[in-house]
Each structure stands twice: as structure tokens, then as C-alpha cells.
Chain A
Amino acid sequence: MKKNHKKAKNKSLIWRQFKKNKGAVIGLIVFCIIVVIAIVSVIVFDFDADITAVKAADRLLPPSKEHWFGTDNLGRDVFARVCYGAQYSLLIGVVSVIISVVFGSLVGAFAAFVGGWIETIIMRLIELLLMIPGILLVIMIVYTFGASIPNLMLALGLSTVPHFARNARASVLTVRNNEYIEASRALGASELSILFKHVLPNAISPILVQATSRISGCIISAAGYSFLGLGVPSPLPEWGAMLSDGRPFIYNYPYLEIFPGLAIMITVLAINQIGDGLRDALDPKLKR
């Protein structure tokens, strides 16, 4: 019991710092609402009946009581589609960042911890990946394996691996020469357990902050690639794909673009605010 209490005390320090940032708290609330919407819409809306079914009679209706955000050129309810689309954006953002965080920071941390020529080789290889423009990498992967959500996640994840590897390397470099690392070596701990038990936990906060802000980057990229037809295939209501579908009607029916666009903007803004708040809360130099 006591232990839990103490641990909570340490965490509450970060939480207290986070709470001071009003934008971050609002961002967190908005983000939670979006997550709830994503979950609820999966339960409430039927994929075939509400999301993809073509209803010729309801084509291009303006926003009304019946259809809050209006309907698109195939008579589909835009509100339902925007809500249903939240899950794709969130999933793509989170999963692709997890891919790059796990892979990138492990590689970077390992390189920095081992040092020497191994580090040089690993980091040059990673930078080779950095040399390929992100969009080219996505086009390559999508054209080889086909346009689907998992492939898009993989492509987005891979394209940010170098950034995480470099960041992880940098923060491990600052940690690995600390005396407590030397001390646990003098205690007889093995190199691998030192890396995972002492180096990574101390180097994790910059990686965590970067990961949070990368989620929003990935959501924007995913929408962009879907808009270009490289991402989520069309009948699925991904926000970027919806923008693409509505493009021919933008002059007469702007709400087809406004609502998915707003959804992207609000989500990204919320996540960025959380990232900012986390950065301030985890930065030991700013800690009061």
C-alpha cells in the first residue's frame, strides 16, 4: 500500500507540472473526447448501412437537423463518416509512431551505448534511410505492397525511424557516462541489463515528448497520403480520403471539405498541445 502511495507521489509531480499548462489540459480533454467518439462511432454506426451505403436520394444535402454535417455526392452522412474516420487517424498515428519509437530508439540507444565503430556503422545506415524523402519511401512501400492501412502505418513508421534513432542516441549519450551507470557496472550488472534498467529509463523523456508530437505529424501525413490516393483506400472514411473525395465539389458544397478538415486540425492541435505540456513537465531543467 505504502509503495503505491509513494510511486503516485512521484508521478503526481509530473502531473502537477502538466496541469499548469492550460493548453495542454484542454488538449488532453479534446483528445479524450476524440478517442471516445472513435470508440462510440464504431458501436453506433453500422459500417455497411451508415458509412459506405450509397443513397442516391440524399445526394449533397446541406447541413440540417437530419444530417448535421450534410451529405456527400453519394448521399452518405458526413457527420457519421467524420466520426467513424477518427479511429483510422488515431490508429495510424499511434501505431506508426509505436513502430518508429520501438525500432528507432532501440537501435539508437544500442548504438550509443555500445559506441565505437559499431555505433558509426549503425548511425550511418540509419542516416542512409534519412536520405530517402518520406514521400518516396511511402510511394515505394505502397506500390510494392499495395495501398492499405497496415502498409501506410509501416511506411510512416519507417520514415520516422531515423529521427527517433538519432534522438535516442543523443539522450543515451548524455546518460551513459553518469556515475550510477558506472556504479551498477561495479556491482556486477551485465551490460544488457544496464542498458534496459538504467540507461533507457533515464533517457526516455525526450523520446516520449518526441513521440507525442510525431503522432500528430503522422496523422497529417496519413491524411495527405490518403488525399493523394496512397493511403487508406477510398470507401473507408479516412479524413484525408474524404477531402480527396469532396474536392470536385468544393466550390458549391464547401462543407464536404470543411468538416473533415476541421477534424484533422482539432486532433492535431490537441495532440501538439499535449506534447508541449509533456515537454515542459518532463524537462528537469524547468522543474520547480
Chain B
Amino acid sequence: MKIFERKNIIVQQPEIFEGEYVLDVEDLKIRYETDDAVVYAVNGIDLKLKRKQTLGLVGETGAGKTSTVLALLKLIPTPPGVVEAKKILVNGKDVMTLSDKELQHIRGNEIAMVFQDPMTSLDPVYTVGEQIAESYMIHDKLSKKEALEEAKKMLEIVGIPAERSTDFPYQFSGGMKQRVVIAIALACRPNILIADEPTTALDVTIQSQVLDLMKKLNEQYQTSTIMITHDLGIVAETCDEVAVMYAGQIVEKGTLEDVFENTKHPYTEGLFNSLPNMNDRNSKLNPIKGLIPDPTIVFAGCPFAERCRYAKEKCFKQKPTVKHLSESHQVKCLRYDEVDFKIERALK
């Protein structure tokens, strides 16, 4: 009978934070100082995330998406990284001021991360069960045996038979590995889950399975999620809010409808226009001209001005400010000072 009792250990739900925003970041700046140059990865970002909401962070490679979320966990390597912010509140606690011990308590317990490539984010020398068990041993202080039991339950939850918990990562396929990674991240029921391009390394069918799974688990555990991706389709499918990043800044932010149906920023427009047209398969792709700017350059004006077809002289000289178009929708573009300015997004 004793054995049965042990099996039914309920993992403690970390105390649910009562404030409105589980995540509240103000004026986050990250730069990497190397011997040759200073790389400005993130230049003043505000982020707010409500409970149970999913925020999509969209942007090109090098826009500063990953740096932003790593800063939330205070995992930016310093040096060379330098992180500055007015505040980074995770569940009301400012990670900038926490000690290493407190940070280790928060990581995995209150805020967890799913990494991009499931092939490399599992340790090859441990069984998957042991790797899931690790977070129970760290945070819930379970014994190894209890932790392994919990790990098996977690594997079942992500749709992998419990008896495979004694297998090593190389015995799993890519999609299953990503399920394991998700199981590890959700093991201690974090309030915030960060998914850094969780499906980039997977093929489309597995991709939708993994996304469905994440969505289901988020509802079940009431987790708030930050979803990093460059796939606008994934955003449309999974996110409540969207933030579009360009050159270390959030250029447009709003609810899914705001950004997708009522696009305001020329860069977001460019992203949508560059999608392949499903109705006319012979049509040419319509990419944004030019490349993402060199992150070592500090711009006097708008960093997108060079590639922007609406850019005027003032765009090169004057820093754009945030315009609130509605309660939820904001855009960072100078042209909206003009009352009658409109972009001409081609709706397909």
C-alpha cells in the first residue's frame, strides 16, 4: 500500500502570481561588446504578457528575438553581453536584482524554455526519463525514484509511452525528442513558457502535432507562452498577441487581429507581402528589398528606413516613437504623425 501512496505524489503547483501581467519588461536593451565592435542586439523593448496568453515574437534572423527571451531568464552570457532595463518583472520579481540562487529557483520553476533544435538540446549520455526527472529533483526536491515516476507520467502526458523513459535520446525521432523537451520544460508547471522556434527543425506534420500539444498543455496548466518564430502561419494558429521585431525593436504590436487584419507598419506589410501566394502559384515572390541592417550601427532615424518604400527624409533623421492606435495596437513609425497616411497592403 505504501508503494501506491508514493506513486501518487502530486507535484506542487508553484503559487500562481495574482498580478495582471506575469511578465512586464520595460526598456530592455542588450548589447554585446566584443573587441572589434559593439553589437546592439536589442534596443529598448517593452513587453507585457497577461496570464494564459500567448505572445508571438516575429522577425527575421538577427532581429534580437532570442536575445530578448534569454534576458528574461538572465541567461545572456556576460561578458560580452550587457543587459540594461528599467525592469524585467517575472511574476512580479525583477530578475535583474535576483541572486544566482534565486534565479536558479525561478528558472524551470516559474519560467521555462523550449529550445530550437531538439537534436542538440538533450544530453546524449542520460536517458530521457532521467533528464525530465532532473527538474523534479532540482525544484521539488523529490528523490531520484520519485522523480523518475513523475517523469514517466510527464512522458505519457506528451504522448510518449512511459516505458520509453529508459531510452536514450538517440533512440528517438526528432518530433519525439521535441516532445521530450516540452515535457522537461513543463515538468514543474512553469507560469511562463518560452518557445524559441520550437518547430523550425521539424517537418510540417510533426510541427502541427507539436503545436497542438503545446496549445493543449498551455490550456491545461494555464501557462503563458512566448512563441518565437519566423513562420506567420504558426503565429496565426497559436498566438493571441503578436509583436513584430526589427533590428532590436518592436515595430508593431497588437492582438492577432490588429496585426494580421489591420497591418500598420511598413515592415509588417512587407512580411505579409513576401508570403507565397497560394491562389496564384505562378506569381513571383515579393520580398522586402535589401538586408537586415548591420547591428553594430546606431541609427539616427528609423532602422527600417533604408528598405522602406514609404520612407521620407525625416525617417532617416528622427527616431520613430511609439504610436498607440488603439488600446491594444501600437506601431513605431513616424509616418503615422501624418493624419492621412495609409499603407497599401495587398490583401490576398
Among residues 30 to 88 in chain B, which have CB atoms less than 8 Å away from a CB atom of chain A? Answer: 73, 75, 79
Number of A-B contacts (CB under 8 A): 74
- Contacting B123 at CB < 8 Å: which of A6, A7, A180? A180
- Tell me the A1-54 residues at the B interface (CB within 8 Å): 2-3, 6-7, 10
Q: Are A184 and B106 in contact (CB under 8 A)?
A: no
Contacts of B108 in A (CB 8 A): 186-189
User: Which of under 10, 10 to 19, 20 to 34, or 35 or more describes the interface residues of A?
Assistant: 20 to 34
Task: Tell whether, in the assembled complex, residue A6 and residue B104 are in contact, meaning their CB atoms are under 8 Å apart.
Answer: no
Q: How far is the CB of A177 from chain B (nearest CB, A)?
A: 10
Tell whether, in the assembled complex, residue A188 and residue B104 are in contact, meaning their CB atoms are under 8 Å apart.
yes
In the complex the two chains form, is B127's CB within 8 Å of A187's CB? no
Majority SS at the chain A contact face: helix
Cα-based distance from A25 to B320 in the complex (angstroms): 72
B81-120 CB contacts (< 8 Å) to partner A:
100, 103-109, 112-113, 115-117, 120
Residue of A2, A180, A190, A197 most packed against chain B (CB within 10 A): A180
Report how far A107 CA is from B179 CA in the complex, Å: 37
B125 CB-CB contact with A under 8 Å? yes
A188 touching B105 by the CB < 8 A rule? yes
Query: Does A182 have its Cβ within 8 Å of any Cβ on chain B?
Result: yes
Residues in B neighbouring A197, C-beta threshold 8 A: 134
Q: Is A188 a contact partner of B167 (Cβ separation < 8 A)?
A: no
Chain B residues with CB under 8 Å of chain A are 73, 75, 79, 100, 103-109, 112-113, 115-117, 120-127, 134-135, 138-139, 163, 166-168, 181, 184-185
25 contacts between A and B (CB under 8 A): A3-B166, A6-B127, A6-B167, A10-B168, A179-B115, A179-B120, A182-B75, A182-B115, A183-B115, A183-B184, A184-B134, A185-B75, A185-B107, A186-B75, A186-B113, A187-B108, A187-B112, A187-B138, A187-B185, A188-B106, A188-B107, A188-B135, A190-B100, A190-B104, A201-B126
A residues whose Cβ falls under 8 Å from a Cβ of B: 2-3, 6-7, 10, 116, 178-180, 182-190, 197-198, 201-202
Additional 6 contacts, C-beta under 8 A, given A116-B79, A198-B123, A202-B125? A6-B167, A186-B108, A187-B108, A187-B138, A188-B108, A202-B123
